[in-house]
Amino acid sequence: MIKISVMYPNTPGAKFDHDYYRDKHMPLLEARMGASCKFYTIDRGLGGIAPGSAPTYVAMCHIYCDSIEAYVAGASPHQEELQRDIANYTDQTPVIQISEVVVGNS
Residue 90 is given by DSSP the state B
**Nearest distance, CB of residue 11 and a second copy, angstroms:** 14
Pick from 34, 47, 81, 91 the residue near a second copy by CB under 8 A: 47
If binding is defined by CB under 8 A, does position 32 make contact with a second copy? no
Pick from 22, 24, 32, 78 the residue near a second copy by CB under 8 A: 22
Please give the helix or strand (H or E) that residue 33 lies within, else none: helix 26-33
Pick from 11, 88, 93, 99 the residue near a second copy by CB under 8 A: 99
If binding is defined by CB under 8 A, does position 35 make contact with a second copy? no
Residue 61 makes CB contacts below 8 A (sequence gap 6+) with 5, 6, 21, 26, 40, 41, 42, 43
If binding is defined by CB under 8 A, does position 43 make contact with a second copy? yes
Residue 80 makes CB contacts below 8 A (sequence gap 6+) with none
